[in-house]
Amino acid sequence: MRATITAIVAGLTLVAGPAAASAAQPRPATAQADIAASALTLGRAVADWQLRHMDGRFDYVQTHRPGTQNPRGWIQGAFYVGLVAFAERTADKGYVQALRDHGRAQAWGLGKRPLHADDHVIAQSWLWLHARDRDPAQIAPVKARFDAILADPPKADLTFIDGTEDQPCQARWCWSDALFMAPPTWTALSAATGDPRYARYGDQEFWAATDWLLDKEHGLYFRDSRYFDRRDEQGRKIFWSRGNGWAYAGIVNVLKTLPADHPSRPRYVALFKRMSAKLVALQKADGYWSVSLLAPENSPPETSGTAFFVYGLAWGVNQGLLKDARYARSARRGWDGLARAVGPDGKLGWVQQVGYAPDHVAAGDTQLYGSGAFLLAASEVSRGRF
């Protein structure tokens, strides 16, 4: 496998070490290997490396290790969402079993915070397995959790309180990351149970959050209300790449499970198309998106936001929603950038660390949610030719 990965990324200006400044230079689209085959090969490499490193003991990371090690938390949960997509694409029994083993070890449970979206994302994996196994135990905890929420819906204001760790607004979806963590879980539970109440609640709360956080001028999400009035040193609005990646991928995952005749489906599709058009216009020449989307200057590669954008664009092309050739070109350029960020051992680099705003990123930085985003991208890129 190592030799295969090396062959694929040879000539792609591999981004695996500190001397990776050339990754920021434009490069012609890959001609040496079929992109679909490379997506499957690199996806397996990244999945296998990450499954060997689930304890979060990466060689550089000191902060957020407890969160990384939390088997029901959002960091692992986001990885498993990507592994689900890749397992479905490849029909790899080993990946399916890894998901099943994790669910059994966790008794199909969710995180400890009843209302917090970050503690709901892991259930997306259990719901996918339930669709295969039809074991009621796999969705009993998420059903109980969501039934309790429906019985007493939170009514928190969506305003973030600056300078405090505890955010009362997080009883609802008051930050862009939440749109990946929670709404697809609610729509998937309706698909699993046939009960429309879950999708109805998810739809209601998704649009409450979007009406609150989506900037009307640019069609991009502020990470939370603290950024409504903040500007960078050049006076530009601050739109965090991964923060928008969470929301963009969340829209895709809602559309995957929302009934075709759901009355809100056209609204999701319209939002998806609007974001897609904006994101293609903001892509840098090297295939990546800047950590701050309106500030491309002096921005290093960053793979977590880029992977979510490639995932959405490739899915839109494959579904026939994004017909203009610029979308396929953008997905391919983005994939080429992601491929250059995979080391010979399968470790994905250039992943901005846990945060809530544009920040520093280095070649050796990795995290489970980055690998999850990469697997989402690989699952869609491998379905088409771009």
For 316-340, b where at least 16 C-beta lie within 10 A, e where not — what string? bbbeebbeeeebbbbbbbbbbbbbb
Given a contact cutoff of 8 angstroms between Cβ atoms, the answer to whether 128 and 116 are in contact is: no
Q: d(Cα 122, Cα 302) in Å, to the nearest integer?
A: 24
Whether 133 is catalytic is no
Q: Where are the alpha helices (DSSP H) in 137-182?
A: 140-151, 178-181
Given a contact cutoff of 8 angstroms between Cβ atoms, the answer to whether 101 and 93 are in contact is: no
Query: Exactly one of 177, 224, 286, 336 is catalytic; which is it?
Result: 177
Q: Could you give phi then psi for residue 237, rounded to 5 degrees? A: -65, 150
| Secondary structure (3-state) at 2 | helix
Q: Give the DSSP per-residue string, 301-363.
A: P-HHHHHHHHHHHHHHHHTTS--SHHHHHHHHHHHHHHHHTB-TTS-B-----S-SS-----T
Instruction: Name the amino acid, one letter, at 205.
Output: E
The DSSP H or E segment spanning 36 is helix 35-51
Task: Report how far apart, in Å, the C-alpha atoms of 187 and of each of 85, 108, 127, 200, 261 are.
Answer: 16, 18, 10, 8, 13
Task: Report how far apart, in Å, the C-alpha atoms of 92 and of each of 43, 44, 85, 98 are.
Answer: 12, 10, 11, 10
Q: Could you give phi then psi for residue 292, rounded to 5 degrees? A: -110, 115
Instruction: Tell me the catalytic residues.
Output: 177
